[in-house]
Structure 1
Amino acid sequence: MSEATAVTVFHPVDDSAAFGRWSQDLLASAQAAAGHVAGQLSAFPDAVLDCAVAVTFSDEIQLHGWLDSADRDDVLGDGRARGYSTCSGDLIFTDDGPLAAGVGLFRHDVAAGKEADFEAMEVRLAVAAAGMPGHEGTVLLPPDRHGDWISLVRFRTSAQLSEWLRSAERSEALSGLRSTLRREFASASNTTPFATTVRIEGGRTLMTPNWKSAMLVLLVLYPTVMLLSRFLGPVLADAGAEPWLGLWLSQIVSVAAMQWWLMPTASRPFRRWLDPVEGRGFRIGVAGAAAIIVLYAVTLTVFATVHELHFWDYVD
């Protein structure tokens, strides 16, 4: 599992220095928990940027263990008594991108000596975003241990985020930002449960080609349907379910399994191939397609030769 980060956003504070001192208690609570990797306070040189605390754990399970802990609740309770209240649910992201809809995450490699100019440009972007429908806030995180600044912009819905990314207001506000960077900024990619990776690159929304998504879905769908037909179908028939109902119930199980387990698992080794930026080269495209075709052949061979998997032989 990849590392996971939680960003806790707070309502604006009157005394940023006092909030910074209190935030060390929250960071210390995370540091004492199993799996802690890093933690930091956001940068908010202007009130338009959210004050937030970000913590990173080695995986999602350990991150949620701390987020749900009594120790963290105690620290947040002390913060509320001081006037530091959270203004949204925790924002979770991994190497694959944000886990919540409507959140855009961007990584920036800021040129040396350009930090102040970069912060000013981020404030300019946040001001422009604040005028868009559904905007809920912008968080700016200082350089992480990899040296990248991270900005997160939050909108109520994914459609509103997309509208902002395509807007003339954003394009105008972006002028000047690139001069503060060593290379073009990029968003973290985010792969949907059905094998479509979405990436924002240079202000453009890029997605996995449909043929790649379709190939991977077929790779998972065929054995799923075959196995359900062999093992679940007879159970439903024995329970008295008519064929039309049994098939419907089987498809519910199939879709649920693919949505939350099978497709995310199958997508992981093909992550680069599915990425519309890293996987757009001819060589990697052919290599990934060839690997899937080989897996097609393996699954077809298994279901053709293993008699115990022939569901049609078990139908009364």
Structure 2
Amino acid sequence: MNDSNRPPATALTTNITLRPDMGPPFAAWQAKFTHAAAQAQGFLALDIAPAFAGSADWRIIQRFRSPEALRAWQDAPQRAQLIADLAPMRDPHVTATAHDTLHSFDPLSCVTEVITTVVEPGKEIIFRTWAETIQSSQSSFPGYMGTLVQAPVSEASQYWTTLVRFSSPDELDAWLGSSERKQLLQRVEPHVASWKSYRMPSPFAGWFPAAGDKPPPAWKQTALVLLVLFPVVMLEIRFLSPLLAGQHVAIATFIGNAISVSLVSWPLMKIAVAAMGWWLRPSPARRSQLEALGACTMLALYLIELAVFMLAF
């Protein structure tokens, strides 16, 4: 798609690589950045996440309701100052980049708590200031994997949505049950009409139902989905894309995604889960051997897929 035909961007991605031991100052910076973005005209959502648990690479996606609102945020002196404040935290050996994007980033190897809050009319400024404080606090807890903050999407749906991500259920529970969080919730309760919270324990729960107390590890789920999805996408590129070449990119993408999701959901994932069940949930008596054999099997299958498509295309 030519740049001249591309729709105006409404989101901006900022990629950064932190220097070692910059966790605490970066946590405080995230809170300030979230507070500033949430006050900007046309703010829709802010997604801050690392590439993986413990990674120094972070991605900050800033979404706005219109291209004009995005440009105003890009040119805002407050944003410029906050980006400048990042300079001492960046790894000097990695070039910082910022570019427009239409795609979000959500790490799969984590557990997420979804919190929806209805703010009392006229108390929005108080709520945003409080949100800055609680984000700064949660960012300092072990296992923190980023936050997504979304403003009310319409007058008919007047609630703020926050996704809080941690590496494991235990680390998330440590934050949710902490005295710091309880004190902060007590402080904001007079200013909110209602709030509720629920957990998203598994990114592919429908494909990997829990056996006993928990589903397979998220990284195994992701690895198996990749194994199944890759050949579907490659076949679509080879055979479906030429048939849809005359269609609008949105229509072509929708058709391709619909076919991919349908094939992966049924029957491919059911077959893959059944075939690799011994690795997804290894027997405790032979866990080490099965884990190693499963990892080698997955690697071999990846290589086979790559070889097949590199030769066929």
* TM-score with structure 2 setting the length: 0.35
Q: Find the structure with the greater CA-based Rg.
A: 1
Bigger RCO of structures 1 and 2 (CA < 8 A, at least 6 apart): 2
* TM-score with structure 1 setting the length: 0.35
